[in-house]
Structure 1
Amino acid sequence: MEDKAVKQQKRLLEQEHLLPYTIEAQNQSFHVMIYTKLGKISGVAVLNADKSLADRKVAEEVVLKLQRYNFYFEYLSKRSDVVKERDSIVAERIEQTQLILNDGDLFDDFMQPTVDKLSLALEVYKQQQHKMDIYQEDISLLNEKIKEQGQIQPEDWKSAEDLSVLFMSAAYAQTIYLEATRKNRQMLAKWVHDHQKQLPASKRKALLKLVALLSDTSAGLIFDQIISLLPLLEKGLLIDHDEDLPKRAQEFNKEYEALCRFYKPKLEKMVKLIRN
């Protein structure tokens, strides 16, 4: 039977959601009730096994652990809201159109370096997206496992850390290569527009198809949405933006892994929301 005190925590126009798993603290398992209003978290209540309100100190410990788990996949959650799986669709379409960029006789000496950099960025995008699709499936399986067993077990914390590091590393490499070749996409579109009458029909058709794909209303829009999340990827890290891209990616991997392994949430952000 649910304690009356728990019901009293719910306020006007709020929705309540009991997490489908418990969190351990002080050798006991605790339930967590999340209150939302207009789609945003408005309160948190930590409950004992009998659904009564837990002690405040215990509640704070549980909320810190919940914050830690949410931190692992904060970027993934935000990216899913913004991109809505269109990044995977774009990767498939790139696979079908990018070969034309490898035609060594097609572009002049001025344009070739621009094309080479763009071609590399598209290849990085495609490869990293493939990795992220796999990692995202693994993350979904982990969350399903936790839901089915009804608690986060010690090995689940390690799995969450590992998957977070893998996913974020792939996302960062993808993002910085896209950011570095924004102008390359524009230059390719202009070059094709200026030279299309001089190109063989089959190659002109292939290039126009690629340019259309990379336009601001298609893949280019998805790329810009991904780039817009770069501050979230670099949050809490000191990255030297003057380094070349491979070294910058390596630096991120090292710094983010250290942050992830030793991450300590700050209770100040949640203290006003705890209703115990």
Structure 2
Amino acid sequence: MIRVGTLNLASGRDAGGRSLDAPALAAALAGVDVDVLAVQEVDVAQPRSHSVDQPAALAAALGAVDWRFAATVTGTPDPFRSWRPADPPLLRGPDDAQATGPHYGVALFSRVPVRRWAVRSLGAGRARLPLQAPDPRTGRSRWWWFPDEPRIAVAAELQLAGGGGCTVVATHLSFAPHTALRQLARLRLWARSLPGPVLLAGDLNLVGPVPGRVFGAGRLVRAPSYPADRPRVQFDHVLGPASLTAHDPRARQLPLGDHRLVEVTVAPALG
């Protein structure tokens, strides 16, 4: 059995919007006990998050034996210009040097051995989202129309005890529902080429039963996850074959991020 989770890190900000340094990140994750964790909105060398190499810091805090960070944006996200995608997709692991300059993207961490890693670009939509953020010129908070960022998925083919295995896919889909649905349909096709059973974990930006129906999988956790302090909707999901039995599914608030941690224990060898 393995425990799988997903967390939107929000660049390592706490409930008050303050960025956490590496020791504070480790302290915030001290109570997280999962075998595989998908993490979204991860910063590398970003001034807004103390220039911390967050994938490396999270891997150490989680006790991961292997991990990959997939950059979706090169440079610092700026409301004055469109996102500059990392192309081709950058897939960095514990044995790779940190890429030059700041990056932003998703990561997948594992405490169990990984046979093979894979990455798939999902593209970006044309929609823009109104968000409140500091003005980089004045530091004052104001509303911006942020462009949709490029989206990506990372897959880890796991080697489980006793010879069993499964694949966990981590992703963060578009905030525009029509684009997220199209990306999820692409993931469903990709999942057919991956060793099963396949579990999808991430911030899918789609609510309730919708992502499970589109991906063709069971909804292993059913609990609101956003916003973290008073969750009303479930954007964060772990999806898997209906044949899998879910044990101890939960969504709980951590001292960081604006989404709740969603986690569940499954027995992939039975899928």
Shorter-chain TM-score range: under 0.3
Q: Which structure shows the higher strand fraction?
A: 2
Bigger share in helix: 1
Larger Rg: 1
What is the TM-score with the length of structure 1 in the denominator? 0.19
TM-score by length of 2: 0.20
Which has the bigger relative contact order, CA under 8 A and spacing at least 6? 1
